Amino acid sequence: MKYEYCKTDFIYETSRSDSSVQSGSVFDSTLQNTWKAALERGVFRYVLNIQHSKILEGKFSFVAQLNTDRALKRRAPEEITSLTQPFDHDRFNFTKIDETEILFELRRKCDTTTNRHCVIINESPLEFGHCLLLPSRLNCLPQIATQHSLQLAIEVMLLSSNPAFRLGFNSLCGYASVNHLHYHGYYLNYSMLLERISVQHLSGPCFILVNYPAKGFVFQLPSDKRPETLARDVFKLTNFLVCNNVAHNIYITRGTHFSSSHTNSKICNTIRVYVWARKSSSEAAYWSLTEEQVVEMLSDVCEGTFGQVTDSVKELFED
């Protein structure tokens, strides 16, 4: 199955008030229907069963979920030793998946290249609709975000009208478990603070997230609303991090424009892209988890690295 799109399909504004997790655009319907069909065919390692969810008490409204099947039944992560570890054809990669795991191929109508982008199931799902976006799957690219793949991910976000849809990327040494270029997509039907939190300008198009335990960098869809402009800016940072051997995570979500004074607005009128420079982190048991523990873990993971690279990132965008 192929899903073709062009820029006239992009949705630049949506509202949280008139959506549920299983609703949205033609893209959302395509993703959700193919994902549920795969679930019914028994393609996944387990039927998604989130035993418990809770919002941790406190000002950050962290969401915690208990999904023991993910821990017990997922494929063993690949051993990662370097941020720039080469692609290894002999290890597991996404050219070795069964065809039943492919939900659909994704293609821009104006794209004359032979790139074959795929959306496949995540066979060990964390949330409803949990899938993997595989840019140029057959090109066997390592898990390093390219400018082209970032643009594709931003375009996918613009194809969805459901503000519950999110995309994420983990670098090698930053929780990536397969060294083959991929982004995670899923629906999380909670209003997240990161959709509306205030940020501070650093330089150029780059802002910083400081009133949050995980300090990081953030970009938004520019005034020209061109995904390629946003992708170029984000790639400038992630490429700097790769060149300096700094692990990182990327989070892409709908949200309010940085200049909005209505921090509680349900209108999502931009795409926010967060980039966290990070180190390895520890974990805590679900039932005893508190906001204080999450704050401590996030601060430990990000604060030191953030401080080490901020001045260099500021200079990066000053021209």
Is residue 182 annotated as a catalytic residue, yes or no? yes
Q: Which strand (E) or helix (H) includes residue 276?
A: strand 270-277
Count the neighbouring beta carbons within 10 Å of the beta carbon of residue 53. Answer: 14
Contacts of 19 (CB under 8 A, 6+ apart): 161, 162, 163, 164
Contact between 185 and 192 under an 8 Å Cβ cutoff? The reply is no
The catalytic residue among 117, 148, 180, 182 is 182
Question: Could you give the 3-state DSSP secondary structure of residue 72?
Answer: helix
Per-residue buried b or exposed e for 242-251, using 16+ beta carbons within 10 Å of the residue's own CB: beeebbbbbb
> What counts of helices (H) and strands (E) characterise the chain?
5, 15
Instruction: Please tell me the distance from the alpha carbon of residue 270 to that of residue 104, in angstroms, as a whole number.
Output: 26
- Residues designated catalytic: 182
